[in-house]
Amino acid sequence: MSELIDNISSSAEAMTKKLVTLRRDLHMHPELRFGEKRTADIVAKRMEKLGLNVRTGVGETGVVAVLRGAKRGKCVALRADMDAIGIQDHKEVNYKSTVPKVTHACGHDAHVTVACGVAEVLAKMQKSIPGMVVFLFQPGEEIGLEGRSGAAAMIEAGALKRPSPEAVFGFHCWPGFKAGTVGVAEGPAMAGADSITFHVYGEGAHAGTPHLGRDAILAMSQCIVSLYHIIPRNLPPSENTTLHFGIVRGGISRAILADRVTAIGTLRTLNRQTRSLMKQRIGETISNICSAYDLGSEIKWTLGIPPVINNKDLTRLVRQASHDVLGKRRTIEVAHCPMTAEDFTLFIQDRPGFHLKLGVADAKTGRCHPLHHNRFDIDEKALPTGVKVLSLALLRYLGAE
Ligand SMILES: [Zn+2]
Ligand SMILES: [Zn+2]
């Protein structure tokens, strides 16, 4: 083992207890999007104590901390999101959430903890680091497809300027992999997500005289069934794409033809071509069905976020770092891109990026509740694992070895 790997491994192992204490403290005091005041305060104080240059209030509650190495070199960033989600914690552990209806069920408490750990490992090596490492502590990742996300807010507030990172690394707790392992994937790592709302306009009439009206519910039913046929008949079976309508609203009475029905859904794709083909086919399907029924229609797309695409060179770099610090057996090649989305992608639109899957399932049994489950919890062995892989990856990117 090289001296660098040795140093990283022993510092990460030595801080395990500290990492667990921090993670549990954050877990007990979760904060919702753009309300991460306590979390941001803890982060800022820790970063200042480590000697980093700290900017707070970057995109409301975001924190940017810059570690300047003793030598000149490149600039790289690590992003960690800080917010919790609005559900009740149903776990029975002594570090359960103390805030009603707010829980770290997406593991962002672990993200903040791991990033703080990486900053501590690197701060100790400041004298031998060429270049700079920017830590991006982001608010408001759990926005869904409505409203401005924390990544967008931070970028607008100048988080990627002075200094401007040449590459950005990110990571997410991954319940599908055991603690002590990480997952790497070249290319698509998270889906792009768009939101669609469409209205079908008909004409009301008494249920006893349906020929005098135009039934929007009937046309809507046909639309939904046909829309779900677009993917299997327009895309190759190997292409991961998801279309789902979670809300359908319309009608006022059991005996009246509905004159207006609205459906709201989400489209998840992994590349630009599929995204535009799907938008075209969805539009054609809705308007053709509605005209066949002599009804009007209107479609509104809210363009969400593009997919997270892992850069080839950075993937190689992280894979090798993981092989070296964890071992090949603990480095999982991710075969299928999940169809969840991550606003991390906004940080890597103009520069290469890499997003790591940090295994958090029970290291022995492999059990773990899914993300956003009201009993979601992690095996805390994942914390030093994340610190090791990410510290080595960042240092190698800067050429510290
Ligand atoms: Zn989440
Ligand atoms: Zn998350």
Same-domain status, 115 and 134: yes
Which residues pair with residue 309 across a beta bridge? Answer: 188
Return the closest-CA partner of residue 398 out of 40, 33, 134, 11.
134
In which domain, by residue range, is 347 found?
Answer: 3-191+307-398
CATH number at 257 reads 3.30.70.360
Residue 80 banded pLDDT, cuts 50, 70, 90: very high
Give the pair of three-digit tokens for residue 128. 């031998």
Give the pair of three-digit tokens for residue 365. 């049994």
Expressed in angstroms and rounded, the spacing between residue 37 Cα and the centre of ligand 1 is: 19
The number of domains in the chain is 2
Return the closest-CA partner of residue 322 out of 348, 350, 354.
354
Last residue of a domain, one of 305, 327, 362: 305
| Ligand in closest contact with the CA of 343 | 2
Note residues around ion ligand 2 (Cβ under 5 angstroms): 106
Expressed in angstroms and rounded, the spacing between residue 375 Cα and the centre of ligand 2 is: 15
Length of the chain: 401
Per-residue burial over 69-98, b = 16 or more CB atoms within 10 Å of its CB, e = otherwise: beeeebbbbbbbbbbbbeeebebeeebebe
Cis omega before residue 163 (within 30°)? Answer: yes
Position 302 scores a pLDDT of 87
Same-domain status, 347 and 207: no
Same-domain status, 264 and 363: no
CATH number at 106 reads 3.40.630.10
Position 304 scores a pLDDT of 84
Q: Which amino acid is at 241?
A: T
| Ligand in closest contact with the CA of 107 | 2
Same-domain status, 182 and 213: no
Residue 279 has pLDDT above 90, yes or no: yes
Beta-carbon contacts of residue 110 (< 8 Å; ≥ 6 apart): 23, 104, 173, 358, 360, 378, 382, 383, 386
How does pLDDT run across 154-211, given as a tens digit for each residue?
Answer: 999 999 999 999 999 999 999 999 999 999 999 999 999 999 999 999 999 999 999 9
193 contacts 265 by C-beta, under 8 angstroms: no
Residue at token pair 């009937």? 218
How does pLDDT run across 320-362, given as a tens digit for each residue?
Answer: 999 999 999 999 999 989 999 999 999 999 999 999 999 999 9
Same-domain status, 29 and 173: yes
| Ligand in closest contact with the CA of 371 | 1
Expressed in angstroms and rounded, the spacing between residue 110 Cα and the centre of ligand 2 is: 10
Last residue of a domain, one of 305, 334, 365: 305
Give the pair of three-digit tokens for residue 3. 């001296």
In the 8-state DSSP scheme, what is residue 1?
-
Last residue of a domain, one of 264, 279, 305: 305
Which residues pair with residue 354 across a beta bridge? Answer: 169
Expressed in angstroms and rounded, the spacing between residue 201 Cα and the centre of ligand 2 is: 38
Residues classed as catalytic = 83, 141
Please give the Cα distance from 149 to 147 (Å, whole number): 6
Share the mean pLDDT of the chain.
96
Please give the Cα distance from 44 to 40 (Å, whole number): 6
Beta strand 71-81 with 167-178: parallel, antiparallel or unpaired?
parallel
Please give the Cα distance from 67 to 123 (Å, whole number): 7
Position 145 scores a pLDDT of 59
Q: Lowest-pLDDT range, 47-61, 219-233, 295-309?
A: 295-309
Expressed in angstroms and rounded, the spacing between residue 394 Cα and the centre of ligand 1 is: 25
The DSSP string of 181-193 is: -EEE-SEEEE-EE
How does pLDDT run across 21-31, given as a tens digit for each residue?
Answer: 999 999 999 99
151 vs 240, 336, 345, 381, 383, CA distance in Å?
A: 25, 25, 9, 28, 23
Expressed in angstroms and rounded, the spacing between residue 341 Cα and the centre of ligand 1 is: 9
Percent of the chain with pLDDT over 90: 96
Same-domain status, 140 and 247: no
